[in-house]
Amino acid sequence: MSTFLSGFALSFSLILAIGSQNAFVLKQGIKRHHVFVVCAVCALSDAVLISLGVAGFGAIVKQFPAIETVARYGGATFLAVYAFLSFKSAFATSHAMTAAGDTRQSLPKTVAICLAFTWLNPHVYLDTVVLLGSISTQYQPAQGLFALGAICASLVFFFSLGYGARVLAPVFQRPQAWKVLEFVVGVMMTTIAATLVMGA
């Protein structure tokens, strides 16, 4: 049980910080658009990455740094585009329909964006595949239990964030609140993108 809790606590602490993926989940939760699917995609993606890390894929990433490089620049490009769209939305969109709850992205588009936030983020690989994967070796032969704890933490976090976000919904009945959120998200995405490039 202690091995399970160790995996749970470490994984939860790694994903707790608000990043690009978490900001997207928060926005979808406030809008109440495809919340279950978005949370499920994030949690299942983490489950796959954690499983790969525990299975030894972290060693492959270390051996072939090109994988991390592709994820770094691909992620920076994606975040820069998303930041531009967020700033455009903050300054050029009325958000009257958004505040009224009338706008909705298609499910395929939402899933595609969610997958991009997950799989084009090099920090996800470093946290789930490399870090959790390497730490799990300390819990042999109970690595599977450690991985299960880490996966459960991801599941609990994303569904709590997605469905807990609706508490903020009354605030976002005002179009101005959406403009502020879009601006904050734009700043966040720009900062993360710049960090990825400068950290290369």
Question: Does position 61 have pLDDT exceeding 70, yes or no?
Answer: no
Q: Are 143 and 61 in contact (CB under 8 A)?
A: no
- The label of the residue with tokens 């499910």 reads 107
Q: What is the mean pLDDT of residues 70-99?
A: 73
SS3 content of the chain, % helix, strand, coil (to 5): 85, 0, 15
Backbone angles phi, psi at 105, to 5 degrees: -75, 155
Q: What is the mean pLDDT of the chain?
A: 81
In this predicted structure, what is the pLDDT of residue 68? 67
Which class for 50: exposed (0-12), middle (13-18), buried (19 or more C-beta within 10 A)? buried
User: pLDDT > 90: what percent of the chain?
Assistant: 22
C-alpha dist (Å) from residue 183 to 90, 175, 188, 191, 200? 5, 13, 9, 12, 26
- Tell me which residue of 187, 170, 156, 153 sits closest to 32, measured CA to CA: 170
Choice between 158 and 19, residue whose per-residue pLDDT is larger: 158
Map out the domains of the chain as residue ranges: 2-198
